[in-house]
Amino acid sequence: MADYDDVFQASVDNPEAFWLKAAESIDWHVAPTRALDASNPPFYRWFPDGELNVCHNALDRHVEGGRGEQAALVYDSPVTGSQRTYTYAQLRDEVAVFAGVLAAQGVGRGDRVVIYMPMVPEAVVAMLACARIGAVHSVVFGGFAPKELAVRIDDAAPTVIVSASCGIEGQRVIAYKPLLDKAIELAEHKPSACVILQRPQAEAEMGPNDIDWATAAADATPADCVPVKATDPLYILYTSGTTGKPKGVVRDSGGHAVALNWSMPSVYAVGPGETIFTASDVGWVVGHSYIVYAPLLVGATSVLYEGKPVGTPDAGQFWRVVQEHKVKSLFTAPTAFRAIKKEDPRGEYAQKYDLSSLEYLFLAGERLDPETLRWAQELLEIPVIDHWWQTETGWPIVANPAGIELLPVKPGSPTVPLPGWDVQVLDAAGRPVEAGTDGAIVVKLPMPPGALPTLWNDDERFVSSYMSAFPGYYLTGDGGRIDAQGYVYVMGRTDDVINVAGHRLSTGGMEEVLASHPDVAECAVIGVADPMKGQIPRGFVVLKSGVERDGDELRAELVQLVREQIGAVASLKDVAVVAALPKTRSGKILRKTMRGIADGLDEPVPGTIENAAVLDDLRPVLRKS
Ligand code: COA
Ligand code: AMP
C-alpha cells in the first residue's frame, strides 16, 4: 500500500487525475470526463459534466451489489430503551417510500426540505429521501430555538418541513411541535406542509397543514432515484458566523460523494461491512458526513445513537455500543470523553465490556487537550486520532490518515494535511510564516472536492467571509502553525465563533440577543475555557443610564432570553453586569483582551486602550472564571 507522502504528492502533482480516479468508485449516470472546473475563481466546481444520484450510491447500488441483507443503520437509543437495525434493502425501501411522500407534497428536484428532528432513524430516511428525488435538505439541530429555526426557514424557503413530535434529552421529553409551530409563525416564508413523526413519548397535536408520517407513508408510491448534476446542491447546512445570521453552507452532490467515499477507508479505516459509531448529531456536519453519507457510500454499517455519553443510564454506554455492534472506529468530540472521564475517571465501565473490535478512536470538533488524549490512549490502548475540519470543508482538512499510514502522534496536533488540502500559515500581511510561527491558517485554492462551493443564495458573503482576506486562499478562521515536520497545530478561532461542547456557536449572535433587552446599553460575549465543554460563553452587559435593576433578576432574564432566542445549546449561564467595557480609541470593544484576561494570559498594551481604568474594574470579574 502507498504511504501518506506518495498519496499526498499524487494529489498535489495531478489533482485532475487523482480525483478522477477517486470518482471511479462512485456510480455515475453520466461519468465525468474532467475533475475540476476552475474557469470562475474563487467559485470552483468539481466534476462539471458528471451526473449521479447520491441516494443510489448510498443505498440502491449496495442492494444491487449483494449487500441487501447487511445492516446499513443501527439505531441504538438508551433514552427510549430501544434498538432497531435497518438492512440496506430495508433502508432503501423506507427511503423510497418517504421520497414518495415528499413527491406527493410537490417536492421536486432543487426544492428545499427543512428537517428538524431528534436522533431517530427517520431523520436519516428523510435526508436520503431528499437526495433520492434531487431535493435539497437542510437539517436544523434540534437544540436550536424557534427563532433560529425561523431564520433558516426564511433563508432556505422549504416546500415542506419534516419534524417529530418530540426529542429526548436525558430524562426530559422535549416537545418539538410547539417549537416548530412557533418558528413557522415567526418566519415570513410558510411551507406548504409539515410531515410529523409521532413518537410515543409525547404525541403532537396536529394542525391543518400537518401530515402524519405513518399515515402518509402507508399511502405513498415509492419514488425512484432522479439523476442530478454533480454540481447540483445536495444539502444546505447552516453554521454560525460572526453575526446572528447563520451561513448556509452548500454541499454539492458529486464532489461530496467522491470525497466522502475516498475518506472513509483512507482516514477512518472503515470499509464495506465494517462498523463506524459516530457519536454526534445529524444536525451537525459530523453527523451529515460520518453518521449518514460516508458510511453508506462505502457500504459500511453506521450506528445512530440517541443519548449522551453519560447519564441515562450510565457512563458505560459508548462501550456497550462498541461491544454490541462490533464497532471498529468510534468518532466523537473530546468533550464527550471529558464527560465520561469525569463520571468514570478510572475507566471502570470500559473494563466491563469487550472492546476488542475497536481499532481507532477519532476526535474532532474542538481542540483536543493533551490530558484528554492521554486518558483516552491509556484507557483504550488503540490509536487516538485528533483531526481538524469544519462545516465548510465537509471532511477533514488535517488528520492522521489511519487507512493509508498511521503517522506518529504529536499531542496538540491533528497531524498532517490530507490529499487535496494545501494548508498554509500566513501573517497579517499575507506572507507565509516560518515553520513553527503562529498565523492565520488558510488553504490555497482550489480546495478539494467536498468543500463548500458557495453559501446558499449569497455568493457575495462567500467571497467576503472566506476569500477576500487573502486572495487565492480560503480563510479557515482558525489560527495556528505548522512545524518543521509538516504537523499542523490548530490553536483556536480568530473570529467571534466559539466551540461549546463541540457545538459551533456565534458570540456575535448572543450579543445581538443581549443587546435586544430594553435595559441593556451595550454588551460583549466571549468564550472562556471550561474544563468540561472546552469553552463556554460569558456575557458582560452595561445597563442604560438610569436603569436600576436587581442584578440576579436581570441576569436570569438575560440567560432566559438567550435560551429562548438561540436555544439551550448556547449554554450561556453567566452574565455579569459591569460599569463599562474596555474599548480601543476608535470605540471597538476589546473582546480579545477580555478573553486573554479570563484565560489568565498576558495583559494588553495599555496604550491601545481608550478607557484603561475600566480593565482594573473588570479584571476580578473576568478572572472569576
Ligand atoms: N434538543 C434539545 N435540547 C438540546 C439538544 C437537542 N438536540 N442538545 C442539547 N440540548 C440542550 C441540553 O439538554 C442542555 O440543556 P440544559 O442547559 O437545560 O441542561 C443544553 O442544550 C446544552 O447542551 P450540551 O452543551 O450538549 O450540554 P450537556 O450537559 O447536555 O451535554 C456533553 C454535554 C459533553 C455530554 C454533550 O454535549 C456531548 O455528548 N457532546 C459530544 C458529542 C457531540 O454532540 N459533538 C458535536 C459535534 S462532533
Ligand atoms: P464546525 O464547523 O462545527 O465543525 O466547527 C469547526 C471549528 O471547530 C473549527 O474552525 C475549529 O475552530 C474547531 N475544530 C474542529 N476540529 C478541531 C480540532 N481537531 N482541533 C482544534 N479545533 C478544532
Q: How many CA atoms lie within 13 A of 41 on its CB side?
A: 11
Distance of alpha carbon 501 from alpha carbon 569, whole angstroms: 9
Q: Which ligand is nearest to the CA of 306?
A: 1
**HEC states along 301-318?**
EEEEECCCCCCCCCCCHH
Are 115 and 123 in contact by the 8 Å Cβ rule? The answer is: yes
Q: Which ligand is nearest to the CA of 312?
A: 1
Cα(208) to ligand 1 centroid in Å equals: 33
User: Does 490 sit in the ligand 2 pocket, CB within 6 Å?
Assistant: yes
3-state secondary structure of 566: coil
Q: Which ligand is nearest to the CA of 318?
A: 1
Distance of alpha carbon 314 from alpha carbon 326, whole angstroms: 20
User: Does 63 sit in the ligand 2 pocket, CB within 6 Å?
Assistant: no
Take residue 308 and report the three cell numbers written for it.
Answer: 449522551
Domains annotated on the chain, with CATH: 94-226 (3.40.50.980), 497-622 (3.30.300.30)
User: Does 284 sit in the ligand 1 pocket, CB within 6 Å?
Assistant: yes
Distance of alpha carbon 287 from alpha carbon 339, whole angstroms: 20
Question: Residue with the nearest Cα to atom 40 of ligand 1?
Answer: 336
Question: Residue with the nearest Cα to atom 21 of ligand 2?
Answer: 367
Query: What integer pLDDT is reported at residue 545 of this predicted model?
Result: 92
Residue 348 phi, psi (nearest 5): -70, -35
Q: Which ligand is nearest to the CA of 570?
A: 1
**HEC states along 348-399?**
HHHHHCCCCCCCEEEECCCCCCHHHHHHHHHHHCCCEEECECCCCCCCCCEE
> Counting beta carbons within 10 angstroms of the beta carbon of residue 81, is it exposed (0 to 12), middle (13 to 18) or buried (19 or more)?
exposed
> What's the pTM?
0.96
Are 82 and 254 in contact by the 8 Å Cβ rule? The answer is: no
User: Does 280 sit in the ligand 1 pocket, CB within 6 Å?
Assistant: yes
User: Does 502 sit in the ligand 2 pocket, CB within 6 Å?
Assistant: no
User: Does 165 sit in the ligand 2 pocket, CB within 6 Å?
Assistant: no
Cα(558) to ligand 1 centroid in Å equals: 20
3-state secondary structure of 429: coil
User: Does 391 sit in the ligand 2 pocket, CB within 6 Å?
Assistant: yes
Q: How many CA atoms lie within 13 A of 171 on its CB side?
A: 3
User: Does 367 sit in the ligand 2 pocket, CB within 6 Å?
Assistant: yes
Q: Which ligand is nearest to the CA of 532?
A: 1
Take residue 310 and report the three cell numbers written for it.
Answer: 453519560
DSSP 8-state code for residue 455: B
Are 231 and 253 in contact by the 8 Å Cβ rule? The answer is: yes
User: Does 419 sit in the ligand 2 pocket, CB within 6 Å?
Assistant: no
User: Does 502 sit in the ligand 1 pocket, CB within 6 Å?
Assistant: yes
Which residue is associated with the grid cell 475563481?
Answer: 41
DSSP 8-state code for residue 539: E
Distance of alpha carbon 343 from alpha carbon 337, whole angstroms: 10
Helix (H) or strand (E) holding 211: strand 210-212
Distance of alpha carbon 392 from alpha carbon 403, whole angstroms: 23
Distance of alpha carbon 497 from alpha carbon 504, whole angstroms: 7
Question: Residue with the nearest Cα to atom 32 of ligand 1?
Answer: 336
Distance of alpha carbon 25 from alpha carbon 257, whole angstroms: 10
Question: Residue with the nearest Cα to atom 16 of ligand 1?
Answer: 568
Substitution candidate for ligand 2 out of 282, 290, 366 with most atoms within 8 A of CB: 366
DSSP 152-163: HHHHH--SEEEE
Cα(142) to ligand 1 centroid in Å equals: 10
User: Does 90 sit in the ligand 1 pocket, CB within 6 Å?
Assistant: no
Of the candidates 393, 520, 516, 576, the residue with the CA atom closest to the CA atom of residue 147: 516
Positive or negative: CA dihedral 543, 546, 549, 554: negative
User: Does 455 sit in the ligand 1 pocket, CB within 6 Å?
Assistant: no
Write the CA distances from 39 to 42, 43, 48, integer angstroms: 9, 8, 11
Q: Which ligand is nearest to the CA of 440?
A: 2
Question: Residue with the nearest Cα to atom 9 of ligand 2?
Answer: 390
Cα(330) to ligand 1 centroid in Å equals: 19
Residue 206 phi, psi (nearest 5): -95, 140
User: Does 388 sit in the ligand 2 pocket, CB within 6 Å?
Assistant: yes
DSSP 8-state code for residue 607: G
User: Does 45 sit in the ligand 2 pocket, CB within 6 Å?
Assistant: no
Positions in the chain whose pLDDT score sits under 50: 1
